[in-house]
Amino acid sequence: MKRVVVTGLGLVTPLAGSVNKSWDKLINAESGIGKIEGFNVEDLPAKIAGHVPNSEQEDGFDPNRCLELKEQRKVDRFILFAIDAAYQAIKDSKWEAKSEEDSYRSGVLIGSGIGGLSTIEQATLVLKEKGPRRLSPFFIPSCLINLASGQVSIKNNFKGPNLSVVSACSTGAHAIGDAARLIRANEADVMVAGGSEAAITRLGIGGFSAARALSTSYNDNPTTASRPWDEGRDGFVMGEGAGCVVLEDYEHAKSRGAKIYAEILGYGLSADAYHITAPSEDGDGGYRAMQAAIINGGVDISEINYINAHGTSTPLGDEIELGAVKKLFQDNISNLSISSTKSSVGHMLGAAGAVEAIFSILAVGNDIIPPTLNLENPCDSAEGIDLVPLNAKEKKVNIALSNSFGFGGTNASLILGKVK
């Protein structure tokens, strides 16, 4: 079976508009969460989020790097993030489709949980207030989820598999896992894979608030709001951004002398078949996704050093996931370090799985485990478990597991490791 490796990384996060700056701030225990300023939140119970910093801010995201202003107006913000993260990853990988065969063997699989929510929200107001003749001819292609993959494909002349995944908060992880499968099945040699999201809008915050999913107790102190496994947690904080990787057949990467960050060792997926928004109380879905990834990767459970948890900072979900980890790892849990990087960047929804996979890859590459911020009073079920509270930790990380669980009971686990 073909081996699949990671040869390029790209990030746009609430911490910064690049991989290196996002990672540096993450391991320095910085938070990208602040007060919402882009729209009126006076009547909304949640008034905070993890916004991507703009180009005028330090280490911010510059949309002009990849698209002219005229072209930016034709796409939703989530597509802008995806194009930029993919650009970073492709540039980092030094891969270019120079021949027709290269084009045919290079593909794109970038997903989103919600897609062009801002564009839909704005177009709805135009339709209501000004009528259908005032709608932009770019409205539909600007907000379709698969246009993230489509735009990246067009810009890079990648003519291989071109598709998207939509699985709520598991999207980014599913995209990477599915793209790796395409390479293993010899459908492609190179795949750009990941997730993107830009749902911090009045409608997005209002909708998740109505579902009582968001943190509302820390509006006056935003950086303390995302606190996985802490007794004071009261819901997740929405984030935005994108994460993309370049995946490559190992022999293909080796033959061209590519830098290899890590290997995609295993991929597992499952369904809770329980509830539209809540995880099953016994954590069975997450347990089976992790178990499937371990079996798929042929990895001994004792070899896993780090878990980047789904860890959203919700009263219910955090402890259910921890229970599933305990059940699966049993005595081996003493070898594990577990952290949630959502404590720093918030919950990036469809982008989360890809961003967290990249953080896991960097943990493997640097032997540093990112911290769980704001974990000052751990819940009782966390006793005896290393949740890397408050500060990053140096530790040998040969193999990492990254979990992503989503609305609808959809679960994905990725296993990433050093290349041997």
Task: Determine the residue type at 382.
Answer: A
Q: Render pLDDT for 297-339 as a digit per residue (tens, 0 to 9).
A: 999 999 999 999 999 999 999 999 999 999 999 999 998 999 9
Give the tens place of pLDDT for each residue, 337-361: 999 999 999 999 999 999 999 999 9
Tell me, letter by letter, the H, E, C secondary structure of 175-227: HHHHHHHHHHCCCCCEEEEEEEECCCCHHHHHHHHHCCCECCCCCCCHHHCCC
- Strand ranges for 225-354 from DSSP E: 241-249, 262-271, 306-308, 337-339
Quote the CA–CA distance of 413 and 308 in Å, as a whole number.
10
Question: How far apart are the C-alpha atoms of 76 and 83, rounded to whole Å?
Answer: 11
What six digits make up the tokens of 290? 């992790």
Closest CA to 89 of 177, 160, 18, 181: 18
Per-residue pLDDT of the chain (420 residues; tens, 9 = 90+): 899 999 999 999 999 999 999 999 999 999 999 999 999 999 999 999 999 999 988 889 999 999 999 999 999 999 999 999 999 999 999 999 999 999 999 999 999 999 999 999 999 999 999 999 999 999 999 999 999 999 999 999 999 999 999 999 999 999 999 999 999 999 999 999 999 999 999 999 999 999 999 999 999 999 999 999 999 999 999 999 999 999 999 999 999 999 999 999 999 999 999 999 999 999 999 999 999 999 999 999 999 999 999 999 999 999 999 999 999 999 999 989 999 999 999 999 999 999 999 999 999 999 999 999 999 999 999 999 999 999 999 999 999 999 999 999 999 999 999 999
Options 51, 174, 252, 347, the catalytic residue: 347
Task: Compute CA 241 distance to the chain's CA centroid, rounded to the nearest angstrom.
Answer: 8
Query: Which ranges of 230-316 does DSSP label H, i.e. alpha helix?
Result: 250-255, 284-297
Through-space distance between the first and last CA atoms of the chain, rounded to whole angstroms = 16
Q: What are the extents of the domains in the chain?
A: 4-255, 266-417
The catalytic residue among 51, 174, 252, 310 is: 310
Query: Which run of H or of E encompasses 110?
Result: strand 106-111
Q: Which residues pair with 249 in a beta bridge?
A: 4
Class of domain 4-255: alpha beta
Strands (E), 230-389: 241-249, 262-271, 306-308, 337-339, 368-369
Query: What CATH code is assigned to 266-417?
Result: 3.40.47.10
pTM of the model: 0.97
Residue of 66, 143, 169, 244 with catalytic role: 169
310 is catalytic: yes
- How many residues comprise the chain? 420
At 58 the pLDDT is 84
| Cα dihedral 273, 275, 280, 281 in deg (nearest 10) | -150
The predicted structure's pLDDT at residue 1: 83
Active site residue 51: no
